[in-house]
Amino acid sequence: MVTGARAKPLGGGAKARAKEDGGHPVALTVNGVRAARRVEPRTLLVDFLREDLRLTGTHVGCDTSHCGACTVLVDGRAIKSCTMFAVQVDGTRITTIEGLASHGRMHPIQKAFKEHHGLQCGFCTPGVVLAAYEFLQNHRHPTEDEIRVAISGNLCRCTGYQNIVRSVVAAGALPASAFAARRSSARRGDSRRRAGR
């Protein structure tokens, strides 16, 4: 899990321009849909996703990067969105928990969490699922110890992690094609939506 690099402070002139013109332009692709907004330089990515784009599956747990509830994928990498400013993700592709499902069908990792009871209250679940998703892209059939290290940046106060680990083991046992097929199917659905079909 990666935390975002700290943004460089804006100089006085840049701050004044941002204030005068209503913020900095940010254009990115979120869950396959292009989004463009003007944001204040200090707007955190988690707040941008929740408040501007209304993607409330990204949770705010601690605002200190400790809990991982705000984890999203930025260009395929799991990032704690409370550690990045929205202006830092200009031009990137972001996937939130809402973007894993395709055409109303859960992603295989979401099914594994459901089938193996990898959640209780569900508050941490979106962040854990996305952290595990990134991990499984490069680690097929991981051991329980490897999984525990991979999700160590995500805190769960309910489950004791046993069923979360079982869920990731189950998802990791799926053939790589289960992930690849879903990704290409999601891209086709996204391009159809953008084309208005």
Residue-wise DSSP of 58-97:
S--S-SSSSS-TTEEEETTEEEEGGGSBGGGGTT-EEE-G
Give the SS3 label for residue 30. Answer: strand
- Identify the weakest region by mean pLDDT among 46-55, 58-67, 105-114, 142-151: 58-67
CA distances from 127 to 59, 61, 74, 121, 193 (A): 8, 10, 13, 13, 26
Architecture of domain 2-99: Roll (3.10)
Domain chopping of the chain, boundaries:
2-99, 108-195
Q: What is the tens place of the pLDDT at every residue in 130-185?
A: 999 999 998 989 999 999 999 999 988 887 789 999 999 999 998 877 766 444 44
CATH topology of domain 108-195: DNA polymerase; domain 1 (1.10.150)
pLDDT exceeds 70 at position 48 = yes
The pTM (predicted TM-score) of the whole model is 0.79
